[in-house]
Structure 1
Amino acid sequence: MKKLFSLIFMFSFLFSCSILAQRKEKTKEINQNTAIAETPKLVVGIVVDQMRYDYLTRFWNEYGEGGFKRLVNEGFNCKNHHFNYAPTSTGPGHASVYTGTTPATHGIIGNEWYDKIADQDVYCASDSASNSVGTTSDAGKMSPHRMLTSTITDQLRLHTQMRGKTIAIALKDRGAVLPGGHTANAAYWFEGGENGLWISSSY
């Protein structure tokens, strides 16, 4: 009888341990899935002109641990995004990446184009209603007012009820202004030539 009782006790104990282990594993899995859904504290968007996605895998062994590898391994990696449009100029490219749509929808159809309503050639980021900041030239008269849609940066600001910050930095004005979106806290770009200044806009 003692042997039978011992066997029943041992079986019950092992069964209980098995159930607890399964619950613990399930809880761990739920926590991992929940961690993915948590709101990140920092979002960094990087666009490298002329860099195809396959360069990440093609040159993987050439990258250091703290650069692209860290971004891919610890960040969110968009692997299958294609935007069917041409030409692939800087302005439409940045606008497409940050709006998630094509020039026909977001309105940035080139770096420059003829605006038939205004009856003049226009630049994708130019805005005569904005003022230059950090320079006396017109190089700071820029804004995303020609972009007809919101960007992911705009949506992040809206999601945080405008408490989040969006700061866009690029060498080219269109590389800062368009990704920064309509609600950016700041957009900075480099004014080359004789000035050599980091400038901004009042928009």
Structure 2
Amino acid sequence: MKNLGFLLFFLLGFYTASSQSDLGKTKPKLVVGVVVDQMRYDYLTRFYNKYCNDGFKRLIMQGYNCENVHFNYVPTYTAVGHASIYTGTTPDIHGIISNNWYDKDLKKSIYCVDDNRYKTVGAKSGGEKSPYRMQTTTITDALHLAQNMNGKVIGISIKDRAAILPAGHTANAAYWFQGKKTGSFISSSFYMDKLPKWVEKFNISGIAEKYLNQQWKTLYPIDTYTESIADDNEFERTYKDEKRPVFPHDL
């Protein structure tokens, strides 16, 4: 992760006009942690006028906005960022020092969440994963333990490491997207032996394929994005067989 982006915890399931003191008396039914890869903090202010009232603006105005934070480690790869955010510590403590690294004891390169002790659930391959290389607990583990394991902790992401590491060691489930010919969400036997029905239903719904068969267009007319540099610039590469790296993109 070249830029660690930001973490916003927001509460769903309850919203009232009561004071902050009243909110503190009510336990939320759902807590959602969201990490936006490579979204720098200044994007919140630079593109503020293009955000809707129920999206980032709501989080900024009605939540807590941390304006003076930093991360004291390098490099800022995605696995390192996810582990650091959810453990609250640094790579030398939580053990996730990169997405991939060389293990001098095993004498080979390893991937941060690979674990051949477990099997793929929901596909033929791609799910031999677990969080065992992360050497500390996470805030999600703490929340789970605080509820005497009665609550549920689930991680969902396109990338396996982004679903597994934030969910912690005690998670009920973690799901990630297995692309290419599979095109569905899968998991690991570390969490379960079979995908739940709601995941199976999503996988056969065709939603992912429908999404990929459409063009990626800008929300607003391209000429209104005055906060950004030109769409066609030397800092971007083409996607697949594109002739120019410009919107709309054919996914």
Bin for the TM-score computed over the shorter chain: 0.7 to 0.9
Read off the aligned partner of 1:47 and give its amino acid letter. V
Contact between 1:83 and 1:101, CA under 8 Å: does it hold in 2?
Answer: no
Cα deviation code 1:5-39 (max 9, x no counterpart): xxxxxxxxxxxxxxxxxxxxxxxxxx743533643
Structure 1 contact 124–174 (Cα < 8 Å) conserved: yes
Q: Which residue in the other structure is 2:177 paired with?
A: 190
**Alignment of structure 1 residues 55-94 onto 2, 5 Å:** 55-94=43-82
Question: In the alignment, residue 167 of structure 1 is paired with which amino acid?
Answer: I
2:155 is matched by which residue type in structure 1? A
Count of residue correspondences: 172
RMSD between superposed Cα atoms in Å:
1.6
Could you tell me how far 1:82 is from its partner in structure 2? 1.9
Q: Within 5 Å, which residues of 2 pair with 1:153-164?
A: 153-164=140-151
The equivalences for 1:9-158 within 5 A come to: 32-36=20-24, 38-137=26-125, 139-158=126-145
The higher-RCO structure (CA 8 Å, 6+ apart) is 1
- SS state at 2:24 partner: helix
- CA–CA distance in 2 between the matches of 1:32 and 1:116? 51
Change in Cα spacing, 1:86 to 1:32, as seen in structure 2 (3 Å) is closer
Q: CA deviation at 1:76?
A: 4.3
1:170 equivalenced with 2:154 (yes/no): no
Tell me the SS of whatever aligns to 2:132: coil
In proportion to residue count, which structure has more strand? Answer: 2
Aligned CA distance change for structure 1 residues 130 and 81 (closer, same or farther; 3 Å):
farther
The aligned amino acid for 2:44 is: L
Residue of structure 2 aligned with 1:199, choices 183, 186, 201: 186
CA distance in 2, matches of 1:94, 1:52: 15
Paired with 1:100 and 1:82, the residues of 2 have a C-alpha distance of 12
- Unaligned 5+ segments in structure 2 are 1-18, 191-251
Tell me, in whole angstroms, the C-alpha distance in 2 between the residues paired with 1:44 and 1:78. 17
Percent identical pairs in the alignment equals: 59
| Aligned mates of 2:65, 2:151 — CA distance in 1 | 22
Segments of 4+ moved more than 3 angstroms: 73-81
